Amino acid sequence: MCARLCVLALAPLALFAQRPCDNTPAYTPCEIAFELPAQTANPYATAELKIEFRSPRFRTLAIPGFWDGGKRMIVRFSPTEGGDWQYHVTSNIPDWNDKEGAFTAAASDAPGFIRTAEVHHWAYTERNLPHLWMGANEPRLASLDDAAFHAMADARAAQKFNHVRTVIMGEGAYSSADAPNAAWFNRPDERIRYLNEKGIVADLVLAPRPSFLTGLFPTWEQRRRFVRYLAARYAPMNVTWQGVQEFESDRDSRALLKEIGGVLKEADPYEHPRTSGARVTSAPLLDDGWMNFVAYGPGAGDSVGAVEHQLYPVPFINADMGRDDDPAAFRRRLWNATMDGQYPTYSGGAQDPNSPGAKAMTAWFDFFSGTRHWEMEPYFDVDGARALALEDTDYVAYVEKPGPVELIVEKHAYEVLWMNPADGETTKQKKNFNGDHFTGEPPDKSHDWVLRLVRPGRIESMARSYKFESRDSEEGSRALPITIQEIETNPDKVPFQVEQPAGDLSISKPTPYSAKISRQTRATASMTWLWTGEVTSDQQGYRVLGTGDKGTMQPSESMAKALPATLLVRLYGMNARGKVYELNKVCQLTP
């Protein structure tokens, strides 16, 4: 441990005569400490320090320093490969500026940090290993006592969780906008390191709401310093960035998050994935260019995730699957979100390793660990279930209401497996299925089931390659900006109509909405609906107004800067074969 986390607190000339990160394994943080001149006032706001590290393969990582209390500045750095590194210091402290040094990092078998891959999925940065994201919420990470924290972390690791989501800011972190409590941050530092050592990524939510940030940091400069401070402390660790817990309730939150996201993108040379938490969906923020995945909150139903998966070429996580007070309802949320193409985050307690929710999550992880999950997408040639597939190879169907299931597949011989999602117990059908039209029923009707049709020989032959090149960009670090499908917007070709709303919408009372099928087909017999609204001129982003073919909608006052305003209502309808149609209607939004 000492070789990885030792700090050199040396005078400038002695520091650069040493090799401070020698023998640090790749993807392990090391720290270089600098002693500030005695006359330095408020170093958090005034001292500037950055080190550019040049790798053996000539990649440069620019790492900002951070004030660590007293007269001490720290540069925390994780080498991304073994070999000889060089570095150059830039600072407004004359004794440090333009100094150079070198060290040799040790090779490591660490898989690296996580990145987006295969459009909707995840991989590690090293060796293109796939990453099966399974998270747990622990919002009070920094305030737990040591025993409770270690019990939580150890339990989550044993349950096979590989993400823990937490709000990084807590009571006492800052006494004022330019006065962080450096000692306070030592606890989350140590805890994120511990999680990483357990193979767990820390999903860092910067604050509960945008108004929390603007209240504590009222100016742009103060917010920039805050974000750079967090990036300097935590970017060298295995983390993701998740903005705020939910952004929809505060006016102008989109602009604030674009500002913060831009600083994160600039200050984090490791390019950790970025999004924001949301009450429903963070997809309205995608067009601003700083996010590269979408997070769903507790208000997102199946329709939101199912439709948006067809609209955006990024990964999706469900950041709050809820608790398991009703185990059957929890499994339905978990597996329906999975069929929408989302990766799950559990909100249940950690102390009982045998809780139904934890067992269901572990069963989920074990099941998908045996698939090529990073190539699976929602699949629609199914009746009586919802499905994912790696077509021609592996088909997974969630049977929420046990009964007959029909699945159209590529014509081959398949093993037929039925899995109980409560505990992972699997029953293999004695006789393989051979053909292209599977029909069958679960072993019994006492609970929901997961059906898998798989070609084991095909899976085994594919095991030599992770095939991440097929949908990624040349750099292999972000998904291509492709269109998932061409959304049909021609009203003459859309098989439904908007009946309501017929007039204005009000923020003070609910307004009925309804859609009517105008062309009945087998595909339109089962439709998924998503209603959104946006005051485009005010650039607040859209909000989800409703799901289903009818109901009531009540827009939020945070959607507009002033009322009345022109509101663009969009209705997306996805048929049973996954085809998405869109109709637009312009309304007035009134008080």
The answer to whether residue 374 sits within a structural domain is no
pLDDT at 5 > cutoff 50? no
What are the pLDDT digits (tens) for 191-209? 999 999 999 999 999 999 9
pLDDT grade, residue 284 (50/70/90)? Answer: very high
- Residue 133's pLDDT is what? 98
Residue 185 and residue 173 in contact, taking contact as beta carbons nearer than 8 Å: yes
The CATH number linked to 550 is 2.60.40.10
Question: Could you say which DSSP state residue 231 is in?
Answer: H
pLDDT grade, residue 473 (50/70/90)? Answer: very low
Regarding whether 37 and 100 lie in a shared domain, the answer is: yes
At which of 334, 366, 398 does a domain end?
Answer: 366
The answer to whether residue 450 sits within a structural domain is yes
pLDDT grade, residue 127 (50/70/90)? Answer: confident
Regarding whether 509 and 431 lie in a shared domain, the answer is: no
- Residue 9's pLDDT is what? 41
- Torsion of Cα atoms, 303 then 309 then 314 then 317, to 10°: 40
**Closest listed residue to residue 408, CA positions, set 431, 392, 426:** 392
The count of structural domains within the chain is 4
Regarding whether 157 and 25 lie in a shared domain, the answer is: no
At which of 105, 124, 156 does a domain end?
Answer: 105
The answer to whether residue 574 sits within a structural domain is yes
pLDDT at 117 > cutoff 80? yes
Q: Tell me the C-alpha distance between 530 and 547, whole Å.
A: 5
Question: Could you say which DSSP state residue 106 is in?
Answer: B
pLDDT at 43 > cutoff 70? yes
User: How high does pLDDT run on average in the chain?
Assistant: 92
The CATH number linked to 141 is 3.20.20.80
pLDDT, average across residues 185-191? 96
Regarding whether 160 and 229 lie in a shared domain, the answer is: yes
Amino acid at 277: G
Looking from the CA of 137 toward its CB, the CA atoms found within 13 Å total 21
Regarding whether 401 and 286 lie in a shared domain, the answer is: no
- Hey, what are 14's tokens? 């002695």
Cα radius of gyration rounded to whole Å, the chain: 26
Regarding whether 387 and 360 lie in a shared domain, the answer is: no
pLDDT at 188 > cutoff 90? yes
pLDDT at 271 > cutoff 90? yes
- Residue 461's pLDDT is what? 81
Regarding whether 183 and 146 lie in a shared domain, the answer is: yes
The answer to whether residue 324 sits within a structural domain is yes
- Residue 4's pLDDT is what? 44
Cα angle: 30, vertex 36, 42; to 5 degrees: 110
Query: What 3 state SS string does 338-378 have?
Result: HHCCEEEEECCCCCCCCCHHHHHHHHHHHHHHCCCHHHCEE
pLDDT, average across residues 338-352? 89
Regarding whether 182 and 287 lie in a shared domain, the answer is: yes
Regarding whether 354 and 240 lie in a shared domain, the answer is: yes
- Residue 351's pLDDT is what? 65
Host domain of residue 21: 2-105
- Distances 542 to 41, 285, 300 between C-alpha atoms, Å: 45, 9, 14
Regarding whether 178 and 45 lie in a shared domain, the answer is: no
At which of 366, 391, 412 does a domain end?
Answer: 366
Give the distance from CA 15 to its chain's centroid. 39
Regarding whether 329 and 259 lie in a shared domain, the answer is: yes
Q: Tell me the C-alpha distance between 141 and 109, whole Å.
A: 28
The answer to whether residue 438 sits within a structural domain is yes
The answer to whether residue 126 sits within a structural domain is no
The answer to whether residue 121 sits within a structural domain is no
Regarding whether 396 and 317 lie in a shared domain, the answer is: no
The answer to whether residue 372 sits within a structural domain is no
Least confident piece of the model among 18-32, 130-144, 199-213, 462-476: 462-476
The CATH number linked to 432 is 2.60.40
